Chain A
Amino acid sequence: MTIDRRKLLQGSAALAAGTMLMPAFARRASAQAAGMTFTPEEGASLRLLRWVPFVQGEEEAWNANTKAFTDATGVDVKIDQESWEDVRPKAAVAANVGSGPDMVMSWFDDPFQYPDKLVDVTDLCTMLGEKNGGWYDGLRAYGEQDGKFISTPLCAIGNAICYRDSHMKAAGFEEFPTDTDGFLKLCTALKEKGTPAGFPFGKAVGDGNNFVHWLLWSHGGMTVNEAGEPAINSPETRAAIEYARALYAVFIPGTESWLDINNNRAFLAGDISLTANGVSLYYSAMKDEATKALGEDIRTQNLPIGPIGKSVELHQTSTISIFNHCKFPNAAKAYLEWMYQADHMNAWLQGASAYCCQALKGFENNPVWTSNPIHTPYSKASASLRENGYAGPLGPASAGVMADYVLVDMFAEAVTGQRSPDEAIANAERRIARYYR
């Protein structure tokens, strides 16, 4: 006879409660005293699978919060780390096999690949939203499906323009241009001064996708419409490609081969004076004595606003999902509730030193955003964030289109002249139609 552990646990919950040791009661009491809505099950323990931290302070703050949670509730939380590209396959297998980690901190549309394998967290997310000024729309979209929260939005990894102030001034610009036309003029002027800009047109998972989505969206283009039908073949896409071609012509040569790290490297070596990146670029410049002067010359700005008249960007987005196979869903919810409590969330955002942008509007006044003017543009990431695969539904199709570099390829084909813009669009349309079949 096989024993189903979950059934056994459910069946013997009363018994277990009766035989529990006293300290557990004491811990439970303290958890409730902290004003928590969710009470962990007796004897609960959790395993969280998360991406390898990019910033040490972020990891330290997260682990400190977790330890405080364990101390307060007695729930042990084991944290496994996986490199950020490997989280997706690992989590998908865990979801469908029904074992492994109880929760996963994953990227983009991952929860939408297996929504029926996730614990409904509408109660938790509604409560968190009400307490903390509401969710940002873009991040909310990454957690909500058909009015139900299947995942808890965690943060956006902000992306912003990093540029050399002295080079911009040398090129004849006092203020950083806020619209796409002015931005093209600035890049042209920088090129003439021999200090060009550079954005990746290569297979850069993060930076490349951020850049091309901004190109497309700022001009009003979209991959699919609300019904998930391909909508890439539009005058807006053509305008975006024209704009990209003009930019490419004044970029440093070689951007079509760039992977994620190349723009950082070129910027830190002084070969380019403008690119877009996470705040990590600034910190790696300041960390090294040799590039400290360069780091002090860095200023940051949000990506310029295009013809559609508002700021829209992709940004990496992370959410936390609880799997159905988690034996202690209440403990998992309590853990998340704990992590989103103002003190803990603020400490975490500060630890991440502007790398992670809050998912809840209530945290927008976190001191990290004003502690250094470099940080400020990154605080707007969550507000400008638009969900992948706009305007269609999130799911395997939107994830596949990004992972297969459909948009990156379309822009790269057109700017390098390998295909005409119309051919590049037609090719992208075919590939999009395939994913959304």
Chain B
Amino acid sequence: MPDQPASRPSLWRRIAESRNGLGFLFMLPAAVFLLCFLTYPLGLGVWLGFTDTRIGRPGEFIGLENYQWLNDDPVFWLSVFNTLFYTTIASVLKFGLGLWLALLLNRHLPAKNFFRAIILLPWVVPTVLSALAFWWIFDSQFSIISWLLMKWGLISQPINFLGDPWTARWSVIAANVWRGIPFVAISLLAGLQTIPQSLNEAAAIDGATPWQRFTKVTLPLLTPIIAVVMTFSVLFTFTDFQLIYVLTRGGPVNATHLMATLSFQRAIPGGQLGEGAAIAVAMIPFLLAAILFSFFGLQRRKWQQGAD
């Protein structure tokens, strides 16, 4: 840049040569990326929640009106309940079954690698595809489960999987658990393999029972990875969308509407971007609570929190 004023190169040089300036420069790409693709959309979403914006048309600031309306809206509160119920039950089941599976896979089984690979399948299949398969499995007329039970003479008419509020809730949870177990199992398996075998052997020599070895050796050493895995698992479950959208669209009568699906329904097909954003923003406190719980609840030791 030959035409630039003389002060410019010297400023540049000063930045490039100072330790802090250089550090800042190196961080800049990441910072810009985070600002553009995380902070800005998040901030915009929060702002939209305070406006009456519709799709493609700027709205006006209306303060907390959206939240007041949601506070009086039984459909919204139903979706909050559904989301919490769905997340809690599905996460607990995924953790229990996932840990069990991880412990099994950690043993010396024949064809160990084959089983480990095959376990990942539900996680690898695109959610929409597995959701479509479950849609058929739960169909009110053509369910394979109903068909089998009817063949065996256990029931006389098809089970109304997605029609009754509570069976619908349990059905979508079952589909979510099926899909989520591999993630938990494989991650915990990785954690299990970092635990030195010698610790277990030492405990065994000291006369610890298998249960004692599990609770006193394996579990404490596994908590850091459990904290991370379950944080992710809870976040994925809480924000689940595809499964519900394919299976029920939130029906029957909103019994399986999650906050994410309700937010979409009102914001995009309904065109009420402001209200949809408000519902999405209402998810943030729950998500923060889940993250804080895992950090302060599960990672109690200082070294686990990063401090030495």
Instruction: Give A residues with C-beta under 8 Å from B.
Output: 85, 88-89, 92-97, 113-114, 201-203, 205, 252-259, 262, 265-266, 269, 271, 396, 399-400, 403-405, 409, 412-413, 416, 418, 427, 430-431, 434-435
Tell whether B218 is near chain A: CB-to-CB under 8 Å: no
B209 surroundings in chain A (CB, below 8 A): none
Q: In the assembled complex, how far is the CB of residue A325 from the closest CB belonging to chain B, in whole angstroms?
A: 13
Q: Are B272 and A257 closer than 8 Å at their CB atoms?
A: no
Q: How far is the CA of A367 from the CA of B73 in the complex (A)?
A: 51
Residue ranges of B at the interface with A (Cβ–Cβ < 8 Å): 54-57, 69, 72-75, 139-142, 157-158, 160-163, 165, 168, 248-254, 265-266, 268-272
By a CB distance below 8 angstroms, the chain B residues around A252 are 140-141
B266 lies within 8 A of A259 (CB): no
With contact pairs A254-B140, A271-B141 given, residues A400 and B253 touching in the complex (Cβ less than 8 Å):
no
Q: Is the CB of A96 within 8 A of B56?
A: yes
Contact check: which of A205, A259, A418, A434 meets B253 at CB < 8 Å? A418
A427 and B74 form a contact (CB under 8 A)? yes
Is the beta-carbon distance between B268 and A203 smaller than 8 angstroms?
no
B249 touches A254 (CB 8 A): no
Chain A nearest CB: distance from B251 CB in Å?
4
A-B interface, 10 closest residue pairs, ranked by CB to CB distance from nearest:
A254-B140, A96-B56, A257-B162, A203-B249, A92-B56, A257-B163, A403-B270, A403-B269, A256-B252, A254-B163
Which residues of A have CB within 8 Å of B252? Answer: 201-202, 256-257, 412, 416
A96 to B265, CA, bound (A): 21
Contact between chains at A96 and B142 (CB < 8 Å): no
A-B contact count (CB 8 A): 114
How many angstroms between the C-alpha atoms of A265 and B270 in the bound complex?
27
Considering the chains assembled together, what is the distance between the CA atoms of A259 and B270 in angstroms?
A: 18
Contacts A269-B141, A435-B272 known; 7 new A-B pairs at CB < 8 A: A88-B269, A97-B56, A114-B57, A254-B140, A262-B139, A404-B265, A431-B75
**Contacting B248 at CB < 8 Å: which of A255, A257, A416?**
A257
Knowing A254-B158, A404-B270, the reply to whether A203 touches B69 (Cβ < 8 A) is no
27 contacts between A and B (CB under 8 A): A88-B55, A88-B271, A92-B56, A93-B56, A94-B56, A96-B56, A113-B57, A113-B271, A202-B248, A203-B251, A205-B269, A253-B163, A254-B160, A254-B163, A255-B140, A256-B251, A257-B252, A262-B140, A269-B141, A271-B141, A399-B270, A399-B271, A400-B271, A409-B253, A412-B251, A430-B72, A434-B69
**Which A residues are in CB contact (< 8 Å) with B140?**
252-255, 257-258, 262
| Contact in complex: A256, B253 (CB < 8 Å) | yes
Cβ of A93 and Cβ of B55 under 8 Å apart? yes
A24 CA to B74 CA, complexed, in Å: 62
B248 touches A400 (CB 8 A): no
Q: Quick check: B163 and A412 within 8 Å, CB to CB?
A: no
Q: In the bound complex, what is the Cα–Cα distance between A96 and B140 (angstroms)?
A: 42
Residues of A close to B55: CB separation below 8 A: 88-89, 92-93, 113
- Select one of B162, B250, B251, B270 contacting A400, CB under 8 A: B270
Measured in the bound complex, the distance between the Cα atoms of B260 and A213 in whole Å is: 27
Q: Which residue of B lies closest to A412 (CB)?
A: B253
B56:A396 contact, CB within 8 angstroms:
no
* Inter-chain contact A400/B56, CB cutoff 8 Å: no
A residues less than 8 Å from B249 (CB atoms): 202-203, 259
CB neighbours (8 Å) of B248 from chain A are: 202-203, 257, 259
A435 to B69, CA, bound (A): 11
A396-B271, A403-B271, A434-B69 are contacts. A254–B141 as well, Cβ < 8 Å?
Answer: yes
Q: Please measure, in the bound complex, the distance between the C-alpha atom of A201 and the C-alpha atom of B160, giving whole angstroms.
A: 14
Residue of A nearest to B74 (CB): A427
Q: How far is the CA of A257 from the CA of B172 in the complex (A)?
A: 13
For A434, give the chain B residue with the smallest CB separation: B69
A265 x B54 contact (CB < 8 A): no
Q: What are the residues of chain B within 8 A of A255 when measuring CB–CB?
A: 140, 163
Contact of B269 among A85, A431, A435 (CB under 8 A): A85
Nearest B residue (CB) for A93: B56
Give the CA-CA distance A416 to B160 in the complex, in Å.
13
CB distance from A286 to the nearest CB of B (A): 21
CA distance A73 to B100 in the complex (A): 71
Residues of B close to A416: CB separation below 8 A: 252-253
Query: Nearest residue in B to A94 (C-beta to C-beta)?
Result: B56
- In the complex formed, the residue of A with least CB distance to B157 is A253
Q: Which residues of A sit under 8 angstroms from B160, Cβ to Cβ?
A: 253-254, 257
Instruction: Output the nearest chain A residue to B250 by Cβ-Cβ distance.
Output: A203
Chain A nearest CB from B33 CB (Å) reads 25
Q: What is the minimal beta-carbon distance from A88 to any residue of chain B, in angstroms?
A: 7
Q: Is the beta-carbon distance between B265 and A403 smaller than 8 angstroms?
A: yes
| Complex CA–CA separation, A403 to B268 (angstroms) | 9
Given A88-B271, A93-B55, A254-B160: A202 and B265 interface contact (C-beta under 8 Å): no
Out of A256, A266, A400, A405, name the residue touching B163 (CB < 8 Å): A256
A403 proximity list for chain B (CB < 8 A): 265-266, 269-271
A85 to B264 Cα, complex, angstroms: 13
Minimal beta-carbon separation of B155 from chain A (angstroms):
12
The answer to whether A266 touches B271, judged by C-beta atoms less than 8 angstroms apart, is: no
Instruction: State how many angstroms separate the Cβ of A95 from the closest Cβ of chain B.
Output: 6
* Cβ of B51 to closest chain A Cβ, rounded Å: 14
Residue of B nearest to A424 (CB): B253
Are A266 and B251 interface neighbours, CB within 8 A? no
- B266–A404 CB distance below 8 A: yes
- Nearest Cβ on chain A to B170's Cβ, whole angstroms: 13
Q: Which residues of B sit under 8 angstroms from A430, Cβ to Cβ?
A: 72-73
Complex formed: what's the CA distance from A396 to B165 in Å? 31
Q: Chain A: which residue is nearest B136 at the CB level?
A: A265
Highest count of chain A CB atoms <10 Å: which of B248, B266, B268, B269:
B269
List, in ascending order, chain A residues with CB within 8 A of B168's CB.
Answer: 257
By a CB distance below 8 angstroms, the chain A residues around B265 are 403-405
* A97 CA to B158 CA, complexed, in Å: 50
- Indicate if the CB atoms of A92 and B271 lie closer than 8 Å: yes
Q: Output the nearest chain B residue to A399 by Cβ-Cβ distance.
A: B271
Chain B residue numbers with a CB within 8 Å of A96 are 56-57
Using CB atoms, name the residue of chain B closest to A416.
B253
**Across the interface, which residues of B come within 8 angstroms of A95, CB to CB?**
56
Q: How distant is the Cα of A151 from the Cα of B69 in the complex, in angstroms?
A: 34
